[in-house]
Amino acid sequence: MEIANRTVLVTGGTSGIGLGIAEAFQKAKSRVIVCGRDREKLEKVKERFPDITGLQCDVGDAGQRENLAAEVLRRFPDLDILVNNAGIQRYIDLKKGRSELKAGEDEIAINFVAVVDLTSLFIGHLLKKPSAAVINVSSGLGFMPMLNTPVYNATKAAIHTYSLVLRQQLKDTSVKVVEIVPTMVDTDLNKTGREAAHVQYRGVSLAEYIPTVIKGLANDADTIFYGGGEKILSEPRGESEKRLLNPSW
């Protein structure tokens, strides 16, 4: 996929992996729009990258998704790439029942429903472009679940199966579907939860991780793993499911 001279919307492009992807497209002379909820983060992006357009939007809210799509399509009719990157992660003890589930943000709404709905809002537009893409960010935890993030794992497994079918349904169109499957990357994801649990391990740095993503896009990969992670696809499903990730950190 060409990353130069594109027009790309990166949800959750105000920090971490999303900002890394936004920056790479911007450096390649693409027009970049990012969205996020936190105004301060949007301001910081504007200071660092005056050419990147920041829009405030909570993708977990259906009305805000509709407004985002309407504004982006009105202001940026050349939009040809949607990157569904925004996501959150929570540690959840399922034994604690509904109070625990409702004590934080809704991972299903933000990580999964938003991706399906935003894709539906942009697909008609993207299909009219000679070359376009939907890029979904899942997670290694969608393939090998981690014990303390039960809902997160499931939303990411859902992104994977959704992306497979989206790709198949769009196979004879101009819209390419890419799934990015990050390993653990040192970002702000679940920072509060990790700090409370005294998690020391941070994963790979963004500086090390982002080039893998950009190389995968340039090579026209359908699915972009990190560090040989694609091996999990060739394992019998039962084998990978036996290896529930139960970290000692």
Ligand X SMILES: NC(=O)c1ccc[n+]([C@@H]2O[C@H](COP(=O)([O-])OP(=O)(O)OC[C@H]3O[C@@H](n4cnc5c(N)ncnc54)[C@H](OP(=O)(O)O)[C@@H]3O)[C@@H](O)[C@H]2O)c1
Catalytic residues: 152
Of 23, 14, 128, nearest to 73 (Cα)? 128
- Could you tell me how far CA 246 lies from the centroid of its own chain? 23
Residue closer to ligand X (CB basis): 2 or 20: 20
85 binds ligand X (CB under 6 A): yes
Closest approach, Cβ 195 to ligand X, in A, equals: 13
| Phi, psi for residue 221 in degrees, rounded to 5 | -65, 145
Q: Which of 30, 139, 163, 223 binds ligand X (CB under 6 A)?
A: 139
CA-wise closest residue to 9 among 39, 54, 74, 62: 54
Stretch that binds ligand X, among 6-14, 93-101, 164-172, 240-248 (CB under 6 A): 6-14
DSSP for 158-213 reads: HHHHHHHHHHHHTTTSSEEEEEE----BSSSTTHHHHHHTT-----B-HHHHHHHH
**CB burial of residue 101 (10 Å; 0-12, 13-18, 19+):** middle
144 binds ligand X (CB under 6 A): no
Size of the site for ligand X (CB under 6 A): 31
The residue within the footprint of ligand X, chosen from 18, 54, 145, 216 (CB under 6 A), is 18
Stretch that binds ligand X, among 58-66, 67-75, 118-126, 221-229 (CB under 6 A): 58-66
> For residues 149, 150, 151 and 154, what is the CA-based torsion angle, rounded to 10 degrees?
110
Residue 216 engages ligand X in binding (rule: CB under 6 A):
no
Answer for the pair 232, 144: CB distance below 8 angstroms, yes or no: yes
> Strand pairing of 53-56 and 132-137?
unpaired
Contact region with ligand X (CB under 6 A), list: 46-54, 81-89, 162-170, 234-242: 81-89
CB of 128 to ligand X, least distance (A): 26
Tell the smallest beta-carbon distance from residue 174 to ligand X (Å). 25
Residue 213 touches ligand X, criterion: CB under 6 A: no
Q: Does 189 engage in binding with ligand X (CB under 6 A)?
A: yes
Residues that bind ligand X (CB under 6 A): 11-12, 14-18, 35-38, 41, 57-60, 85-89, 110, 137, 139, 182, 184-185, 187-189, 203
